[in-house]
Copies of this chain bind each other. A is one copy, B any other.
Amino acid sequence: MLSFESDYTGGAHESVLRRLIETNGEILPGYGTDAYCRSAAQKIREACGCPEAEVYFLTGGTQTNQLILDAMLQPYEGVIAAESGHINTHEAGAIERTGHKVLTLSQREGKLDAGELEWFLKRFQEDENREHMVFPGMVYLTWPTEYGTIYSAAELAAISGICRKYGIALYLDGARLGYGLAAEGADLTLPDIARLCDVFYIGGTKVGALCGEAVVFPRGNAPSHFMTRVKQHGALLAKGRLLGVQFDALFTDQLYFTISAHAVEMAKRLKRGLRERGYRFYLESPTNQQFVILENGEWERLRTQVALSFWEKADQDHTIVRFATSWATAESDLEALWRILDQKS
């Protein structure tokens, strides 16, 4: 069935797969100590403009969020997130399982507001009962957000400035980082992100890898014995090569950026075609995820012909549905979609 369900329904990008095949016969040491992990880390350091960065490879997004937050927060600290943040909604309580509270602020198009953040931190400092409360220890944000939107350079700089003023860390969840960098109107680069954040990850699973996320501590600021903590979380692959080889491929010849740009271009055409057909968007997204409001009956009919993601109920009669493109989306997929939509009416 035709699918715009998500950006993780395909396999690996062919260049990634090819490198897995080419290196398959090599004997390599385990646990991320192989030459491909080292090479990939070096290429990422270069792409980030951070010669001192420490880079670790993990298998998935929830695992990465759980590990970073648990390793960087003090036990009496929580993490600030938008109420729509992935860690607050769709990670089955993985953060709380490590003992940390998610402190929520309101969201606007999936984004935190710098003003509200500062108000929250200031109010905490002034609260006479604060020793009985969860200390805010970090800000978590997604880029692009769960709604496909992106923070501008000015917005991220404002949040980063507040974090530094109040002495808390800034963490950017980049599960779809490539699609943000390639977005029309995006004015943030990888080196900008590395400069403004204290830790972030470059998503692989949703951008051409079979699995894998690259965690970057841009100023060599990984928590002590981080590898042991990865192991303790059950997140250390014996064959770390699986991740190293893939990220080495993704950061060779700009592959990560090229395939991200393709997905965004496909999303642009998708958006245009949907708009021409009169579809109503939940919000304006410049990345590979597009959110459309469908009348419930239409949604039930449409899903029998094309795989899409249920997002949430808009109201009693309408559902918000996600269309996602990816590096693998072809022009022919769009054409097939138009055929379905046009015949439908």
The yes or no answer to A167 lying at the interface (CB within 8 A) is no
Please determine whether A76 and B3 come into contact, CB atoms closer than 8 angstroms: no
| A231 contact from B9, B21, B94, B126, Cβ within 8 A | B94
A1-22 to B contact mask, C-beta < 8 Å, 1/0: 1010110111110100100110
Q: Does A97 contact B (CB under 8 A)?
A: yes
Complex contacts, A131 vs chain B, CB 8 Å: 92, 225, 227-228, 231
The number of chain A residues touching the other chain, given as a range, is 35 or more
CB neighbours (8 Å) of A101 from chain B are 93, 96, 102
Which one of B5, B61, B99, B135 contacts A228 once the chains associate, using CB atoms below 8 Å?
B135
From B62, B76, B98, give the contact of A92 (CB < 8 A): B76
Q: Does A108 reach chain B (CB closer than 8 Å)?
A: no
A74 → chain B closest CB, angstroms: 7
Chain A, 207-218, contact with B by CB distance < 8 Å: what is the 0/1 string?
000110000000
Residue of A89, A126, A233 with most partner-chain B CB within 10 A? A233
* B residues less than 8 Å from A104 (CB atoms): 104
A205 to B132, CA, bound (A): 17
Q: Identify which of residues 170-204 in chain A touch chain B, using a CB-to-CB cut-off of 8 Å.
A: none
CA of A99 to CA of B101 in the docked complex: distance in angstroms? Answer: 9
A129 at the B interface (CB under 8 A): yes
Q: Does A59 contact B (CB under 8 A)?
A: yes
Report the minimum CB–CB distance from A128 to chain B (whole Å). Answer: 4
Task: Among B24, B60, B135, B310, point to the contact of A129 (Cβ < 8 A).
Answer: B310
Chain A, residues 93-135, CB within 8 Å of chain B (1/0): the string is 1101111111010000000000000000001001111011111
The verdict on A233 contacting B234 (CB below 8 Å), with A27-B3, A128-B310, A310-B129 known, is: yes
Task: Report the minimum CB–CB distance from A325 to chain B (whole Å).
Answer: 12
Selecting from A45-53, A158-166, A238-246, the interface stretch reads A238-246
- Determine if B62 and A234 form an interchain contact, defined as CB atoms under 8 angstroms apart: yes
User: Contact: A75 with B17, CB < 8 Å?
Assistant: no
Instruction: Determine if A205 and B239 form an interchain contact, defined as CB atoms under 8 angstroms apart.
Output: yes
For the A-B complex with A11-B241, A14-B24 known, give 10 more contacts whose Cβ atoms are closer than 8 Å: A5-B27, A62-B231, A67-B234, A71-B75, A78-B93, A92-B134, A93-B232, A96-B99, A99-B99, A101-B102
5 interchain residue pairs of minimum CB distance: A63-B234, A11-B24, A8-B238, A93-B134, A92-B231
* Pairs A–B under 8 Å by Cβ, sample size 22: A5-B29, A11-B20, A11-B24, A17-B21, A59-B59, A60-B237, A61-B238, A62-B236, A76-B93, A76-B225, A76-B228, A76-B229, A76-B232, A92-B228, A93-B99, A94-B234, A96-B99, A96-B100, A126-B313, A131-B227, A210-B242, A211-B238
